[in-house]
Amino acid sequence: MKITYYGQSCFGIETKGKKLLFDPFISPNELAKDVNVDGIEADYILLTHGHQDHTADAERIAKKTGAKIVSNFEIYSWYGQKDIEGHPMNHGGKWAFDFGTVKYVNAVHSSSLPDGTYAGNPGGFVVWNDEGCFYHAGDTALTMDLKLIPMTCPKLDFAILPIGDNFTMGYEDSIIASDFIECDRILGCHYDTFGFIKIDHDAAKKAFADKGKELILLPVGGTM
């Protein structure tokens, strides 16, 4: 798998010949000003919830690339009214796509679309195929529901967890979350974009390292 970070909670992940794009909030993000949104390719756009800092560029990219929207039923339906195709999901369900299996799991947060439309309940995605298994948590608080992931999904190779605090888990709670999901390799997201979520990178990395875990903070536009 090839992972590219586009800022905030947006990651591009290439796997099994397909390009997945998670929560595209790029053009309004000053930290991502050097990213060419129209140069991003996508086969699927996976949206964890409806907030603008996760959906801002979804319509633009979907209409340019023909990517399908994968999200809960309410978000899928909202984009369907814009003539964008997709696949609806809901909590606890999984589906076998041409790139692998996706399970839509719980998140504790809020959710509405940029125009105020009800966006259903927020979630996260666990994705797996023969190249590996990963979890994108979207925006969530620390919740005991995270313990269900290793009980119902293959072992995670890495997880994308919010670490910015205020609106989501801070990095201290994310360390506990990594225990719950039984994954010690974490890519941080939802930090630094706004004043409320700026973090001390060194302190966050040390806190993870002190627990025998790895926190990866990719630069915007960085790949691994």
CATH number for 2-216: choose from 3.30.420.10, 3.40.50.2300, 3.60.15.10, 3.40.50.300. 3.60.15.10
> Domain ranges in the chain?
2-216
To which H or E segment does residue 123 belong? strand 123-129
Q: Are 158 and 185 in contact (CB under 8 A)?
A: yes
pLDDT 10s digits, 34-81: 999 999 999 999 999 999 999 999 999 999 999 999 999 999 999 999
pLDDT 10s digits, 181-213: 999 999 999 999 999 999 999 999 999 999 999
Whether the full predicted model's pTM is greater than 0.85, yes or no, is yes
| pLDDT at position 207 | 98
pLDDT 10s digits, 117-163: 999 999 999 999 999 999 999 999 999 999 999 999 999 999 999 99
